[in-house]
Amino acid sequence: MPYFVEYLRATRALRIVGIILGVMLIVGVCFRLYFINGTTPEAYVSSIENSPTAHVTRTQLPDGGTQAVVDDPKRQLHAVIVHHGRSFQMKLSERGAPQGMHNHVSMGNTSTERRTHDGVTTTEMSYEPGSQMQWGILFLISAGMGLLVATILGGPLAKENDGHLELAWTKPISREAYALSAVAVDGLAIVASQLLTIVLILMTTAMWTTPTLHLEDGGGWRIALGLLAPMAWYAFLTTVTASLKRGPGTAIGVAWVLAIIVPALGGQIAEHADAATLLQALHPITATLTYLDPIAYIWFPRNLDLARFAGQGANTAAWLVGLLVAYVALAVAQWHRAEA
């Protein structure tokens, strides 16, 4: 198995992912156990409607829902609650709250807004059973883990150059095939880390409510971006380090700094390029570097140069595919000419 060394590196990276996700799962379990006796939205509304001091008037609505008007003089509250199955919308007014309070909190399937005026607090709450989750958003979130693993595994050819080149070339496989097999193994590890991250998100969500998954409009391209950006970043790191005779750590660190600073700075230059001659001179440079930066496509999608150049959706995904192929080809070509 000529790619055994890279297989070992990939499995070590996945063990790191497992440790990180395991810690996050433990934190999630502890957080859920801490709130095990917390009041759920359904229980909160039920306590209002079933209070022994409450007067409740129920009305059947034309759309099949039920409206409950609750007056509770003892608790000094008035509520209008509209039920549709297990979902509901409630508007609650109660006295005795401090003046000036105003907050809006949305957590998963529950949205709550509170306002206080003249000693009366108005609470508007909406609740939908289950948790609506979008595939495209899940894969975009998982791209963070993909970028981490891509960084850990980046520069495999430089790692071979660093004292292992003669051994690598003794294997019964061409240089190109050896390099491509290493890229393939690392690519599978990156994708696996993202899938494991999505599994963790679903598991932690299931501790609170039942997740409901659907593919939103544009979700297919979001999935493509979430998978392609870490792969293209890995290919970029492999390209810029393929000719190094030492480990790629320093080069990868510098690449990260530039990959974040250049599109951030380039976005500002693009907005103000007409204001100064110096900015006009710098603009083509920062724009070109932004086009070549895989992280920019997922981290800085509103960069003006990037938006004009790659657009959104299919165009962005197609450009990332192009970067991925080009960087892999450049890395392999460099390593083909490498000398021990």
Total structural domains in the chain? 2
Contact 126, 139 (CB under 8 A): no
> Is the residue at 180 inside a domain?
yes
Closest by CA position to 289, among listed 253, 272, 264: 264
- The token duo for 68 is 């409950």
Task: Verify that 156 and 49 share a domain, yes or no.
Answer: no
- The token duo for 264 is 């951030």
- The token duo for 217 is 């409009």
State how beta strands 211-214 and 110-117 pair. Answer: unpaired
Over residues 289-309, the pLDDT tens digits come to 888 889 988 887 777 777 676
Query: Which strands, in side-by-side order, build the sheet including 120-127?
Result: 55-60, 66-72, 77-84, 87-95, 120-127, 110-117, 102-107
Range of the domain at 212: 4-28+133-336
> Is the residue at 36 inside a domain?
no
| Residues above pLDDT 70, as percent of the chain | 83
Asked which of 107, 128, 149 is the last residue of a domain, the reply is: 128
> Is the residue at 34 inside a domain?
no
Average pLDDT estimate for 40-45 = 79
pLDDT of 153 above 60: yes
> Is the residue at 38 inside a domain?
no
- Rg, C-alpha atoms of the chain: 27
Contact 241, 160 (CB under 8 A): no
> Is the residue at 198 inside a domain?
yes
Task: Verify that 112 and 193 share a domain, yes or no.
Answer: no
Within a 13 Å sphere around the CA of 205, how many CA atoms are in the beta-carbon half? 20
Q: What does the alpha-carbon distance between residue 142 and residue 159 come to, in Å, rounded to a whole number?
A: 27
Amino acid identity at 115: R
pLDDT of 238 above 90: yes
> pLDDT category, 97, cuts 50, 70, 90?
low
> Is the residue at 234 inside a domain?
yes
**CATH code of residue 53:** 3.30.200
pTM of the model: 0.77
Task: Verify that 95 and 199 share a domain, yes or no.
Answer: no
